[in-house]
């Protein structure tokens, strides 16, 4: 990577050729110079070109800031900024939120949301097709909603316990819905 110390603000380029392709020589360096990218390093340095050096830093407690010219080493680098405690805490939380446990929880939650949504849509389709009356659907909601809600948080075992605690309905259609819910929640656990 290279940068030109005369450009404000400093920018990085992969190489001189990228500078010409990307900027179309907006900075008008030697506008009449052909084969600018073939100039010697000494000539390029005269025009302000410097290597970009990545500074050493601890990503747990520091972050990189703006590009700066390091006169002592005659390179372009990035300033190293100490993170605030708030930034460190946020970074730690982001790492925790993306670890394998968090990913597993999120996968289970998504499966549960999908199941919960599909089950409610199934009941609505049964009403729409005349296989379940609206009254039966309302009764099923009263019986099943609280038991199935933990699924939308990925808490399948809680739903399973709640479903198993429901007294078996006398209505055959409600019993069939309860049995279907129990089976599908059981499938989510395994």
How many Cβ atoms from other residues are within 10 Å of residue 31's Cβ? 8
Using the 3D structure, point to which of 30, 55, 88 is the last residue of a domain: 88
- pLDDT at residue 29 in the model: 63
Would 32 be classed as within a structural domain?
A: yes
Q: Structure pTM?
A: 0.53
Q: Please write the tens of the pLDDT for every residue from 84-143.
A: 999 999 999 988 888 888 889 999 999 999 999 999 999 999 999 999 999 999 999 999
What is the spatial distance between Cα 55 and Cα 14, in angstroms, rounded to a whole number? 17
Specify the number of domains making up the chain: 2
DSSP letters for 16-72 = HHHHHHHHSSTT-SSTT-TTGGGS-HHHHHHTTEEEB-PPP--TTTEEEEEEEEETT
Last residue of a domain, one of 65, 88, 111: 88
pLDDT at 117: 94
Which tens digit of pLDDT belongs to each residue from 126-163? 999 999 999 999 999 999 999 999 999 999 999 999 99
- Specify whether 103 is located in the same domain as 84: no
Domain boundary among 28, 62, 88: 88
Q: Is the pLDDT of residue 27 over 60?
A: no
Measure the CA–CA gap between 51 and 12, rounded to whole angstroms: 9
Q: What are phi and psi of 75, to 5 degrees?
A: -140, 165
CB 91 within 8 A of CB 60: yes
Q: How far apart are CA 156 and CA 182, in angstroms?
A: 10
């Amino acid at each position: 990577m290279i940068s030109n110390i005369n450009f404000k603000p400093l920018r990085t380029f992969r190489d001189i050729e990228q500078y010409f392709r990307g900027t179309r020589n907006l900075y008008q360096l030697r506008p009449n110079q052909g084969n600018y990218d073939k100039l010697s390093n000494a000539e390029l340095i005269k025009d302000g070109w410097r290597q970009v050096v990545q500074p050493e830093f601890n990503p747990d407690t520091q972050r990189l800031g703006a590009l700066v010219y390091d006169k002592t080493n005659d390179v372009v680098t990035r300033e190293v900024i100490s993170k605030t405690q708030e930034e460190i805490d946020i970074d730690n939380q982001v790492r925790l939120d993306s670890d394998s446990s968090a990913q597993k929880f999120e996968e289970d939650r998504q499966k549960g949301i999908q199941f919960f949504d599909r089950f409610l849509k199934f009941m609505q389709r049964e009403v729409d097709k005349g296989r379940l009356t609206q009254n039966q659907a309302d009764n099923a909601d009263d019986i099943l909603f609280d038991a199935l809600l933990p699924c939308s948080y990925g808490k399948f075992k809680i739903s399973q316990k709640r479903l198993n605690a429901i007294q078996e309905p006398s209505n055959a259609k409600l019993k069939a819905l309860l049995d279907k819910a129990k089976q599908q929640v059981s499938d989510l656990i395994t």
